[in-house]
Amino acid sequence: MDALERANKIRTARAQLKRDLKAGKVSIHQLLLKPPSYLETAKVFDMLLAVPKYGRVKANKILQTTTIAEDIPRSATIAADLSAVRCPVFAIFGGDSGLAAQVPHFETHLESCRCVVLPDQGHSVLVERTEEVIELVSGWVRDTARTRTRVR
């Protein structure tokens, strides 16, 4: 697909989404938690303006009070040197999240690491698959405790 055709499809999808937001058919909260791929480069401000009863003042207040702009650079992905990590690590990634690409790095550089990638899941693993995460973490803790007990 050429770039112009792709851009037109994205514009059309965004316009429909804004109409759906205005009509109350789509929740801004769910949209922000798990945005479709065509929103990856969209401005959050524009999406907020499409929400009923959200004007420029309210949208600006929301964006000015969030710390995400500062949090993202501070929460850099995983450092290249993980040699100082000596404790067991359990990492759960959404298969559709860009962070899932770090699994090989974890498995190579961490002495005691288990990684799980949940297919068809974005970045909000804890929010959207809470029960599954609880089961996975509980199982990992049990397994890790058994292994640690035997080693001593």
CATH classification of the domain holding 120? 3.40.50.1820
Q: How many domains does the chain have?
A: 2
Cβ atoms within 10 Å, residue 135 = 11
Same domain, 44 and 97: no
Q: What are phi and psi of 111, to 5 degrees?
A: -60, -45
Per-residue pLDDT of the chain (152 residues; tens, 9 = 90+): 587 888 899 999 999 999 999 998 988 888 887 788 888 788 888 889 999 989 999 988 888 887 766 665 555 556 667 878 888 999 999 998 878 888 998 888 888 899 999 998 888 888 788 899 999 999 999 988 877 554 44
97 and 58 in a common domain: no
Reported as a single tens digit per residue, the pLDDT across 20-47 is 999 989 888 888 877 888 887 888 888 8
The alpha helices in the chain, defined as continuous H runs, are 3-23, 28-33, 44-49, 56-65, 68-74, 103-109, 125-128, 130-151
Considering the domain architecture, whether residues 7 and 56 belong to the same structural domain is answered as yes
Same domain, 8 and 57: yes
Domain around 142: 77-151
Do both 107 and 142 map to the same domain? yes
The CATH number assigned to the domain holding 33 equals: 1.10.8.50
Q: Are residues 87 and 26 in the same domain?
A: no
Hey, CA dihedral for 137, 140, 146, 148, is it positive or negative?
Answer: negative
Distance CA 81, CA 105 (A): 10
Asked if 67 contacts 96 with a C-beta cutoff of 8 angstroms, the reply is: no
Of 72, 100, 132, which residue constitutes the final position of a domain?
Answer: 72
Biggest CA–CA distance in the chain, Å, is 63
